[in-house]
């Protein structure tokens, strides 16, 4: 099949990409079963796509609520459930309770795990007390707690198999991201870029919890797990101590680059992909240089953590455009040649299409026309061409800057996109928000906020909406269609073989749209705003759609934490003040089906 996607690869990827002898055969096989949902993003390629088609664009308008479940926790509910062997695993924000529900027995609670955590971790969590989900592997459910403890639970009984501490909340390190199980390892990131944490990715033995390796985002080559002659950036060796000599003095030790987003894996190339976050402090005048390797796409060997290639999207970030968003793995035809690529819609407002084997930059285009901080990406150097008017520093001095688009929460934050091999399109939930940015000098104190900027957020000039849900052509770098939403779309999308795409809104609506045209086919308002990721599964011959609702996250932090100062929540409280007119706090799983 010609066009955007190669059909042969599409089928191969959905079936688990290529099954290598050393890969985790269990998960590679399990992700082929559309009746279950065995990974937070559906499969290793991060497609968030299901082959189920019982619910389709012809009958999706008949969806009704099949059952609901209260999590017992308020604040922001990100992520979504796993469905494995007749059990559904539901997680919550802090205190990170995990429930196993029996789908064969009226959703009876088979077991419940409620960790005992010090509530002092709550004020150290940047943007609400969210958790993006649990992982499964080798009969274990893996939980990453807010206090950074990684726990392996027996999937059938909930008993603790092992636990290990991944960081230290006293210096601002917290846990919010979903783990990924690759081969015999659990890979986990770290949060805390707003507290001067130095980001890292850590691998633990799946059987024992023993630490196998840790790769930092910046520092000496030995810390980054980087060979200066073999690791490449746009095809060229990175050179010795790239994670040191692009920083002034010892700033790299509190340099940010945290790793709180999503991971993907290509078992054929045996590479794991992820992004790193903002450099610390937000104030760029305090950290001269490119600040490598913050704001970077990393491709690593999961066995030893060694970096094969890296690409820094926003060198010397001045706006908090974390690079942690998902990498979706597909084959794509560009200039008549099929390429193994990753597609990454970044916070900075550009969607990148890159050769995932070599790190070559193939396409980089804006996915919201209002993006103005840079004119374009130089395809030779890979560097954004920054518009001086929207820089937040001049000659090393702080500059108060107005009208920067996107705002710090980006054209898209962590809310994961979906990809359909039927349409060859990517469905991206986006923010349509700009900001005023006032940097100020800040001193580092362990465990205290290390931001150095005050923000105000608002819709772009002339716009009344703060979000769009778009369909994206990754080969051409073009928007195919775009649906405006009153607030940012903070929900993860789901694409299905029924030619329907699902997403949630901050007001609390679950929406279903035609995957080809974007026509709205169905909507239902759940009890609270949706920042969770839509999931589907089949049980006893019937397809279901499931989504967590519970307003919060960065966009909903004002509601979640009861904040009223417009500049609180790193500027989000004022920007989303009207959200309280449409929804309130909650914590509920809502499951939908079409009646027989």
114-173 pLDDT, tens digit each? 999 999 999 999 889 999 999 999 999 999 999 999 999 999 999 999 999 999 999 999
419 bridge partner residues: 426
Structure tokens at 226: 């980087």
Q: In the structure, what pLDDT confidence band is assigned to residue 12 with cuts at 50, 70 and 90? A: very low
| Residue 25: per-residue pLDDT | 84
Residue carrying structure tokens 């783990």: 179
Instruction: For residue 7, give the DSSP letter.
Output: H
Question: What tens digit of pLDDT does each residue of 272-305 get?
Answer: 999 999 999 999 999 999 999 999 999 999 999 9
Mean of per-residue pLDDT scores for the chain = 94
Task: Answer whether 204's CB lies under 8 Å from 164's CB.
Answer: yes
Whether 378 and 351 have beta carbons less than 8 Å apart is answered as: no
What's the pLDDT tens digit per position in 473-524?
999 999 999 999 999 999 999 999 999 999 999 999 999 999 999 999 999 9
Other CB atoms within 10 A of residue 61 CB: 12
- Give all strands of the β-sheet with 211-216 in edge-to-edge order: 180-182, 185-188, 200-205, 211-216
**Strand residue runs (E) in 1-78:** 49-50, 64-70
314, 321, 385, 433 from 373: Cα distances, Å: 11, 11, 8, 13
Query: Has residue 4 got a pLDDT over 50?
Result: no
Query: C-alpha distances in angstroms, 389 versus 181, 279, 351, 365, 380?
Result: 44, 21, 23, 20, 24
Euclidean distance between CA atoms 131 and 112, whole angstroms: 16
CA 98 to chain centre: 20
* pLDDT band of 189, cuts 50, 70, 90: very high
Give the architecture (CATH level 2) of 7-593: 8 Propeller (2.140)
Angle (nearest 5°) at CA 280 between 272 and 117: 70
Q: Where are the domains of the chain?
A: 7-593
Exposure string for 535-554, b = 16+ CB within 10 A, e = fewer: bbbbbeeebbbbbbbbbbbb
Beta strands in 72-168 (DSSP E): 82-84, 87-91, 98-102, 108-113, 135-137, 140-144, 149-154, 160-165
Residue 267 has pLDDT above 60, yes or no: yes
Peptide bond into 488 cis (omega under 30): no
For the whole model, what pTM was predicted?
A: 0.96
Percent over 90 (pLDDT), the chain: 92
What is the reported pLDDT for 183? Answer: 95
Residue-by-residue DSSP string for 163-178: EEE---GGGT-B--SP
Distance CA 500, CA 27 (A): 26
Q: What 3 state SS string does 330-344 have?
A: EEEEECCEEEEEEEE
Dmax of the chain from CA atoms?
A: 67
Other CB atoms within a 10 A radius of the CB of residue 402 amount to 12
Which residues on adjacent β-strands are paired with residue 188? 202
The side-by-side arrangement of strands in the sheet containing 232-233 is: 236-237, 232-233, 307-312, 296-300, 271-275, 264-266
Q: How many CB atoms lie within 10 A of CB 585?
A: 19
Region of residue 201 (phi > 0: left; psi between -120 and 50: alpha; otherwise: beta): beta
Contacts of 169 (CB under 8 A, 6+ apart): 118, 120, 121, 124, 146, 147, 148, 447
Helix, coil or strand: residue 504? strand
pLDDT tens figures, 23-68:
368 999 999 999 999 999 999 999 999 999 999 999 999 999 999 9
CB within 8 Å of 479: residues ≥ 6 apart: 367, 470, 471, 472, 473
Catalytically active residues, by annotation: 320
pLDDT tens, position by position, 80-102: 999 999 999 999 999 999 999 99
Report the distance separating Cα 439 and Cα 157, nearest Å.
Answer: 50
Give yes or no for a cis peptide into 595 (omega within 30° of 0): no
What are the φ/ψ torsions at residue 111 (nearest 5 degrees)? -155, 160
Cα 199 off chain centre by: 16
Contact 357, 332 (CB under 8 A): no
Q: Which of the 8 DSSP states describes residue 179?
A: P
What is the rounded CA–CA span in Å between residue 84 and residue 87? 5
């Amino acid at each position: 099949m010609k066009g955007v996607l190669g059909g042969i690869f599409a089928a191969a990827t959905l079936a688990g990409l290529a099954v290598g002898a050393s890969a985790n055969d269990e998960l590679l096989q399990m992700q082929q079963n559309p009746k279950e949902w065995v990974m937070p993003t559906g499969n290793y390629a991060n497609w968030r796509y299901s082959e189920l088609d019982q619910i389709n664009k012809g009958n999706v308008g008949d969806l009704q609520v099949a059952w609901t479940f209260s999590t017992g926790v308020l604040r922001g509910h990100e992520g979504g459930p796993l469905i494995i062997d007749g059990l559904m695993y539901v997680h919550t924000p802090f205190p990170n309770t995990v429930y196993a529900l029996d789908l064969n027995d009226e959703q009876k609670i088979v077991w419940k795990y409620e960790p005992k955590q010090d509530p002092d971790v709550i004020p150290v969590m940047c943007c609400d007390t969210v958790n993006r989900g649990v992982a499964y592997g080798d009969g274990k459910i893996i939980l990453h707690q807010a206090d950074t403890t990684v726990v392996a639970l027996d999937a059938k009984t909930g008993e603790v198999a092992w636990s290990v501490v991944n960081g230290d909340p006293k210096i601002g390190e917290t846990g919010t991201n979903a783990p990924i199980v690759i081969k015999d390892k659990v890979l986990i990131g770290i949060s805390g870029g707003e507290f001067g944490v130095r980001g890292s990715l850590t691998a633990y033995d799946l059987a024992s919890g023993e630490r196998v390796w840790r790769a930092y985002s910046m520092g000496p080559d030995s810390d980054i797990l980087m060979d200066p002659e073999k690791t490449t950036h746009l095809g060229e060796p990175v050179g010795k101590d790239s994670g040191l000599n692009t920083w002034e003095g010892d700033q790299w030790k509190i340099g940010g680059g945290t790793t709180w987003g999503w991971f993907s894996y290509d078992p054929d190339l045996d590479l794991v992909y992820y992004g790193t976050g903002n450099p610390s402090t937000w104030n760029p005048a305090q950290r001269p240089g490119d600040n490598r390797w913050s704001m970077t796409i990393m491709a690593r060997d999961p066995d030893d953590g060694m970096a094969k290639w890296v690409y820094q999207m926003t060198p010397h970030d001045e706006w908090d455009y974390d690079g942690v968003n998902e990498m979706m793995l597909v084959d794509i035809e560009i200039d008549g040649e099929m390429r193994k690529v990753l597609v990454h819609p970044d916070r900075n407002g550009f969607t990148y299409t890159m050769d995932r084997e070599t790190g070559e930059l193939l396409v980089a285009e804006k996915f919201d026309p209002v993006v103005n901080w840079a004119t374009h990406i130089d395809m030779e150097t890979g560097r954004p061409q920054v518009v001086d008017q929207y820089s937040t520093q001049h000659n090393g001095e702080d500059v108060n800057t107005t009208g920067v688009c996107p705002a710090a929460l980006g054209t898209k934050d962590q809310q994961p996109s979906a990809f359909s091999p039927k349409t060859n399109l990517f469905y991206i939930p986006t923010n349509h928000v700009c900001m005023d940015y006032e940097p100020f000098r800040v001193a580092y104190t362990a465990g205290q906020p290390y931001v150095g900027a005050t923000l105000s957020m608002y819709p772009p000039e002339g716009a009344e909406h703060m979000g769009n849900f778009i369909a994206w052509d990754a080969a051409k770098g073009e928007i195919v269609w775009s649906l405006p939403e009153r607030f940012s779309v903070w929900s993860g999308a789901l694409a299905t073989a029924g030619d329907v795409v699902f997403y949630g809104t901050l007001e609390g609506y679950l929406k279903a749209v035609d995957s080809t045209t974007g026509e709205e086919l169905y909507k239902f308002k759940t009890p609270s705003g949706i920042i969770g990721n839509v999931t589907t599964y089949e049980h006893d011959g019937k397809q279901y759609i499931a989504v967590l609702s519970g307003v919060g996250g960065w966009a909903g932090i004002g509601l979640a934490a009861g904040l009223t100062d417009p500049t609180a929540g790193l500027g989000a409280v004022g920007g989303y003040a009207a959200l309280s007119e449409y929804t309130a706090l909650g914590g509920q799983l809502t499951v939908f089906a079409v009646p027989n």
